């Protein structure tokens, strides 16, 4: 590997998923991981295996099914964590990586861990050595590295490298750093360890965006000697998020006059596709003015700008939008299009579906085709997302009728079907009506009563998936069912009320399948 090759370590599925309400199921994580593979990132941090059976399964499945990138599992310097990570990444073979971390800053040592420097050193060495029993590719992170005393940081990094770590990651865990200071810290570390100078080990950085400097800090670190950047698609993550992958990659490419000689292997034309997929799977929409991937990133409304673009694109565009995946021609399908044409278009969009899944999508495609003149690529993506986000359907909506108006109390009648379970050989069909402040509120109250749940809507996002007055509406909701955890639900339809009801019912089904349900007695008379 070239000494100026910058590795892209994507942690969308681990740190990105820690953003409240952004949790994804296994199918969604696999879809994102496959797209990250097409994006050609160097490392995918697939999860934190020890925290749940779901996270373990996700890391293991990605290690089995996604080829190309290294597959990493996160672990504290604790035996059970490391053992779980080792088992989860085992299917990746030589591409498996264990990422161990341990807090090192004074504030963390004294107030979180209650440990002295010598104890931290011992735990770090023990953690790295234990990880070496499972894989050869070991990454060590001194958590809160940017606030760790520089001399102690050098000491703990040297100990980790001596124990077998091949990558040392310096996290700016709380977004404390500023570019000049952070660059000096990385340079100090690079000069202090011969292994970094020889290439036996490399420095990585993991920057958070609390002060809006995550990307700037990451690039400053590269100039100071770091050769791996940890980042997420769309910059999602804990609190204010992480360094945005798309901004880092395009800064290195676009400003190669400044970052001369630095290269990365990312397939940039896959960036927009990755951004849209992560936004849909996480339920976190991209800000319109977001650099690189926002809807307005290459939009020009000023007459002066438009005139300049017409005469020569480079007058007001420093990047070609097609280089990141914008501006590709769409061939809209219609209701007359057949299954083969739809399947071919799905393959072109990068979806890998079974025949059964294609049939399910095609059935929904025909329904949408009857309501719309054209079915665009984004419409298809939304239909596939609906297939991917499916959870075991405890309840299925069979009927929805809404009455609303400025002189009418909004009323929704909902009919739900529940499949036969246990000893019961009959399916259950229930129907009820609800009233509310509006048609959506009325529908959600009816669903609550029928499913014997009580959800509080904490977030509601609706967007037009495609173009025109008949555009498919996609609704994403985040619901609190009383345990403080947010459950994401998604639904799509040309009718926004139907899409809202579908999204809420999707969240209800997710909640019911977690086993966290606190059952409430069903009220059959009057409003709750």
Predicted pLDDT of residue 487: 85
- Residue 27 to residues 71, 93, 351, 387, 524, Cα–Cα distance (Å): 17, 22, 12, 9, 37
DSSP state letters, 135-167: -SEEEEEEETGGGS-HHHHHHHHHHHHHHT-SE
DSSP H helices in 291-398: 303-311, 339-348, 355-371, 377-388
DSSP H helices in 75-116: 79-89, 106-108
Predicted pLDDT of residue 330: 47
Predicted pLDDT of residue 306: 54
**Tokens representing 321?**
């939008």
- Strand-pair partners of 416: 397, 430
Predicted pLDDT of residue 524: 36
pLDDT in tens, the chain (528 residues): 678 999 999 999 999 888 877 778 899 999 999 999 999 999 999 999 999 999 999 999 999 999 999 999 999 999 999 999 999 999 999 999 999 999 999 999 999 999 999 999 999 999 999 999 999 999 999 999 999 999 999 999 999 999 999 999 999 999 999 999 999 999 999 999 999 999 999 999 999 999 999 999 999 999 999 999 999 999 999 999 999 999 999 999 999 999 988 999 999 999 999 999 999 898 899 998 999 999 888 765 455 655 665 677 777 788 888 899 987 444 567 777 788 878 888 887 777 788 888 888 888 888 887 777 677 777 787 788 766 666 677 898 999 999 998 888 999 999 999 876 656 567 889 999 999 999 999 999 999 999 999 999 998 989 877 666 667 788 989 899 988 788 888 888 888 999 999 999 989 988 888 766 554 444 433 333
**Tokens representing 340?**
């083969």
With b for 16 or more beta-carbon neighbours within 10 A and e for fewer, the 82-106 pattern comes to: bbbbbbbbbbbeebbbbbbbbbbbe
CA quadruple 157, 158, 163, 169: dihedral, nearest 10? 30
DSSP state letters, 388-402: HT----SEEEEEEEE
Q: Do 221 and 205 contact (CB within 8 A), yes or no?
A: yes
Kindly report the pTM of this predicted structure: 0.76
Length of the chain: 528
The dihedral of CA 73, 79, 80, 84: what is its sign? positive
Classify strands 96-103 and 137-143 as parallel, antiparallel or unpaired. parallel
Predicted pLDDT of residue 374: 75
Continuous segment of H or E residues that includes residue 413: strand 408-418
Predicted pLDDT of residue 426: 76
The domains found in the chain, sorted by start residue, are 7-282 (3.20.20.70), 298-327 (no CATH), 339-384 (no CATH), 395-512 (3.30.160.270)
């Amino acid at each position: 590997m070239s000494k100026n090759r910058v590795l892209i370590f994507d942690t969308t599925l681990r740190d990105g998923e820690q953003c409240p309400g952004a949790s994804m199921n296994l199918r969604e994580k696999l879809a994102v991981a496959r797209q990250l593979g097409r994006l050609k990132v160097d490392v995918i941090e697939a999860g934190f295996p020890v925290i749940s059976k779901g996270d373990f399964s996700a890391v293991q499945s990605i290690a089995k099914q996604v080829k190309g990138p290294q597959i990493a599992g996160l672990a504290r310097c604790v035996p059970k964590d490391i053992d779980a990570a080792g088992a989860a990444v085992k299917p990746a073979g030589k591409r498996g990586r264990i990422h161990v971390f341990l807090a090192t800053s004074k504030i963390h040592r004294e107030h979180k861990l209650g440990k002295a420097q010598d104890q931290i050193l011992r735990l770090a060495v023990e953690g790295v050595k234990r990880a070496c029993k499972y894989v050869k590719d070991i990454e060590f992170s001194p958590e809160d590295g940017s606030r760790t005393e520089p001399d102690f940081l050098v000491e703990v990094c040297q100990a980790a490298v001596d124990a077998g770590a091949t990558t040392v990651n310096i996290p700016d865990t709380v977004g404390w750093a500023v570019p000049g200071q952070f660059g000096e810290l990385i340079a100090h570390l690079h000069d202090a360890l011969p292994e970094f100078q020889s290439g036996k080990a490399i420095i990585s950085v993991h920057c958070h965006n609390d002060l809006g400097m995550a990307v700037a800090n990451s690039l400053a670190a590269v100039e100071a000697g770091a050769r791996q950047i940890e980042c997420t698609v769309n910059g999602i993550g804990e609190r204010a998020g992480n360094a945005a992958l798309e901004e880092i990659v395009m800064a290195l490419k676009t400003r190669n006059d400044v970052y001369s000689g630095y290269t990365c292997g990312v397939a940039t034309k896959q960036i927009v596709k990755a951004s849209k997929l992560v936004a849909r799977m996480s339920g976190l929409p991209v800000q319109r003015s977001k650099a690189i991937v926002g809807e307005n990133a290459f939009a020009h409304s000023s007459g002066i700008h438009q005139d300049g673009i017409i005469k020569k694109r480079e007058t007001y565009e420093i990047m070609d939008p097609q280089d990141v995946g914008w501006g590709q021609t769409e061939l809209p399908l219609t209701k007359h299009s057949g299954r083969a044409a739809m399947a071919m278009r799905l393959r072109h969009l990068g979806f890998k579906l079974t025949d059964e899944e294609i049939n399910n999508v095609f059935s929904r495609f025909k329904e949408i085709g009857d309501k719309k003149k054209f079915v665009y690529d984004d419409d298809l993506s939304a239909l596939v997302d609906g297939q991917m986000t499916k959870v075991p359907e405890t309840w299925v909506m069979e009927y929805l009728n809404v009455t609303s108006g400025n002189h009418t109390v909004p009323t929704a009648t909902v009919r739900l079907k529940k499949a036969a379970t246990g000893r019961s050989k009959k399916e259950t069909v229930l129907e009820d009506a609800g009233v509310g402040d509006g048609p959506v509120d009325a529908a959600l109250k009816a669903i609550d009563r029928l499913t014997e749940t009580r959800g509080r809507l904490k977030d509601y996002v609706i967007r037009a998936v495609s173009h025109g007055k008949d555009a498919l509406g996609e609704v994403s909701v985040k619901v609190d069912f009383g345990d403080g955890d947010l459950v994401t639900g998604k639904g799509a339809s040309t009718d926004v009320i139907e899409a809202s009801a579908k999204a809420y019912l999707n969240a209800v089904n997710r909640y019911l399948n977690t086993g966290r349900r606190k059952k409430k007695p069903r009220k059959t008379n009057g409003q709750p």
